[in-house]
């Protein structure tokens, strides 16, 4: 689906750069599927009118979220803890003291967040269109409806369960092209004093760190407080809090409620001011970002080419969605990176999208240490570096590219 107008406000938009032909970021495939591999042009635009950063083209949702969606939230220990904290902050914050509250999560994946509410016996409902991950949630006893959220589903849920005290979403809102439809659904489903809390990768971090790998098919939007406030205002919802998170390499957690229903934190205006200072409202900022992406690509390929010439063995660490943008945009091939180690069984034995680098189980990484590990899962760097002391002790080094390209011990 190509859009030459802003998905939120309808103003004409055009791409300020292109990452070129790109496959589905989570589209791990077998060799015989290469001939049918789907490609689209990955190119971002910035709407000068409402400040929404967005893709000009996005594949049909059914191509991305389906019966074999390769992404299971619960693979990271750190993310388990993150969502336990997130859930606790909702239970002890806006839900505290409420009788029989009802919590809905949009894009509940394998239940990593809702399991915390379930354990406390709270009424909850997950909405998850990807069949396999929804099944994994149900197996844990988490109520899950297999569907895409929008106006209609909001009506159905309200009719069956009543309105929600809290609606949550993590790394989901930025996936949904019809943001207005979802906002309308949220406004319909939410109690007059309810809260809608969601978090997603943050535009300010992406620009500051040149972490362009946040840009891939699923992330149709990269939000800022400014753009979120504008997008939801027309649906009667206002941002009452904005809290930076370290997850996914820098995220923002937005809390919204029906306008006037709850006090607005000082953090909101402070963050908007910070965005202004950073120049997130200026088109020139995005041209600077484009140049930074090009420089990052040149430097990373120089490191990988040198390693290849020197006969070094390089292995990728973490077959992330983000790595698809990096490998395809930079032109990384199996001659640079022998394989990508990943702990997710559904990805193993397959090829990475576009670059067709084999994905192998973690045991292949530990079996024979490579000279270098290219840290594709850089958002989990702390957890990984802590775990991989034996690799470091054996002289293994990490190739990193966010915020700067380099080789680190
Ligand atoms: P994720 O952080 O969700 O990134 P993205 O949103 O870009 O897909 O994915 C992390 C991937 O890295 C996932 O496939 C699991 C893998 N992984 C490992 O193989 N080992 C690890 O120690 C960690 C933390 C992740
Ligand atoms: Zn707009």
Q: Tell me, what's the pLDDT at 67?
A: 67
Q: Tell me, what's the pLDDT at 59?
A: 87
Residue 77 — very low, low, confident or very high, per pLDDT cuts 50/70/90? Answer: confident
- Counting ligand 1 atoms within 8 A of each CB, the residue from 353, 377, 378, 381 with the most, and so the one to mutate, is 377
Distance (Å, rounded) from C-alpha 356 to C-alpha 120? 44
Q: Burial, 357: exposed, middle or buried (Cβ in 10 Å; 0-12, 13-18, 19+)? A: buried
Q: Tell me, what's the pLDDT at 66?
A: 66
Q: Which residue has the tokens 């930074």?
A: 292
Ligand 1 atom at shortest distance from the alpha carbon of 75:
15
DSSP string, 113-181: THHHHHHTT-EEEEE---HHHHHHHHHTT--EE-S--SHHHHHHHHHHH--EEEEEEES-GGG-S-HHH
pLDDT digits (tens, 9 = 90+) for 275-305: 999 999 999 999 999 999 999 999 999 999 9
Q: What is the mean pLDDT of residues 179-200?
A: 98
CB 2 within 8 Å of CB 57: yes
Identify which of 236, 286, 227, 273 has the alpha carbon closest to the alpha carbon of residue 254: 227
Distance (Å, rounded) from C-alpha 258 to C-alpha 264? 11
pLDDT digits (tens, 9 = 90+) for 242-270: 999 999 999 999 999 999 999 999 999 99
| Opening angle at CA 175, ends 152 and 42, nearest 5 | 135
Percent of the chain with pLDDT over 70: 98
Q: Tell me, what's the pLDDT at 242?
A: 98
Which tokens sit at 394? 């054996």
Q: From the CA of 319, which ligand is nearest?
A: 1
Q: Give, using CA atoms, the residue closest to atom 4 of ligand 1.
A: 320
In 3-state terms, the chain is what percent helix, strand and coil (to 5)?
40, 20, 40
Q: CA torsion 101→102→105→110, rounded to 10°? A: 90
CB under 5 Å of ion ligand 2: residues: 6, 8-9, 11, 47, 49-50, 52
Q: Tell me, what's the pLDDT at 62?
A: 75
Ligand 1 atom at shortest distance from the alpha carbon of 319:
14
Which tokens sit at 205? 């971090």
Segment 259-267 long-range contacts (CB within 8 Å, at least 24 positions apart): 259/233, 261/192, 261/193, 262/193, 262/195, 264/238, 264/239, 264/240, 265/240, 265/241, 267/241, 267/242, 267/243
pLDDT digits (tens, 9 = 90+) for 24-76: 999 999 999 999 999 999 999 999 999 999 999 998 877 776 666 666 776 67
| Opening angle at CA 134, ends 132 and 138, nearest 5 | 115
- Whether pLDDT at 98 is above 80: yes
Q: What is the mean pLDDT of residues 139-155?
A: 95
Least trusted range by pLDDT, from 1-10, 234-243, 255-264, 309-318: 1-10
Cβ of 165 less than 6 Å from ligand 1: no
CB 225 within 8 Å of CB 245: no
Q: Verify cis geometry, omega within 30 degrees of 0, for the bond prior to 403.
A: yes
Q: What is the mean pLDDT of residues 127-149?
A: 94
Which tokens sit at 182? 């979802």
Cβ of 377 less than 6 Å from ligand 1: yes
Distance (Å, rounded) from C-alpha 54 to C-alpha 267? 25
Average pLDDT over the chain, rounded to whole? Answer: 95
CA distances from 82 to 97, 211, 302 (A): 23, 21, 36
Residue 144 — very low, low, confident or very high, per pLDDT cuts 50/70/90? Answer: very high
pLDDT digits (tens, 9 = 90+) for 361-384: 999 999 999 999 999 999 999 989
């Amino acid at each position: 689906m190509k859009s030459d107008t802003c998905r939120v406000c309808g103003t004409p938009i055009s791409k300020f750069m292109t990452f070129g032909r790109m496959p589905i970021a989570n589209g791990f495939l077998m060799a015989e599927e290469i001939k049918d591999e789907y490609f689209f042009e990955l190119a971002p635009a910035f709407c000068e009118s409402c400040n929404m950063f967005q893709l000009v083209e996005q594949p049909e949702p059914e191509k991305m979220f389906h019966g074999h969606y390769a992404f299971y939230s619960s693979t990271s220990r750190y993310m388990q803890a993150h969502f336990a904290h997130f859930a606790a902050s909702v239970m002890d914050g806006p839900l505290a003291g409420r009788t029989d509250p009802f919590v809905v999560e949009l894009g509940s994946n394998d239940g990593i967040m809702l399991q915390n509410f379930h354990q406390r016996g709270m009424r909850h409902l997950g909405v998850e269109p990807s069949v396999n991950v929804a099944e994994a949630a149900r197996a844990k006893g988490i109520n899950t409806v297999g569907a895409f959220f929008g106006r209609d589903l909001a009506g159905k849920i309200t009719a069956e369960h009543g309105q929600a005290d809290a609606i949550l979403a993590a790394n989901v809102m930025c996936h949904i092209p019809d943001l207005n439809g979802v906002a309308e659904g949220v406004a319909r489903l939410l109690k007059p004093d309810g809260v809608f809390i969601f978090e997603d990768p943050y535009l300010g971090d992406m620009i500051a760190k040149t972490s362009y790998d946040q840009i891939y098919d699923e992330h149709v939007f990269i939000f800022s407080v400014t753009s979120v406030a504008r997008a939801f205002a027309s649906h009667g919802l206002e941002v009452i809090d904005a809290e930076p998170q370290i997850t996914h390499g820098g995220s923002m957690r937005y809390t919204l409620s029906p306008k006037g229903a709850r006090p607005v934190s000082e953090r909101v205006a402070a963050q908007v001011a910070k965005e202004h200072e950073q120049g997130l409202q200026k088109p020139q900022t995005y041209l600077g970002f484009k140049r930074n992406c090009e420089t990052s690509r040149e430097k990373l390929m120089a490191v990988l080419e040198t390693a290849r010439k020197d006969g070094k063995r390089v292995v990728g660490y973490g077959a992330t969605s983000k790595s698809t943008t990096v490998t395809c945009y930079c032109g990384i091939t199996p001659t640079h990176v022998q394989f990508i180690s990943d702990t997710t069984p559904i990805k193993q034995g397959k090829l990475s999208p576009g670059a067709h680098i084999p994905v192998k189980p973690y045991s292949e990484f530990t079996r024979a240490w490579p000279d270098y590990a290219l840290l594709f899962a850089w958002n989990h760097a702390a957890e990984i570096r802590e775990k991989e002391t034996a690799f470091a002790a054996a002289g293994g080094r990490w190739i990193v590219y966010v915020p700067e390209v380099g080789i680190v011990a």
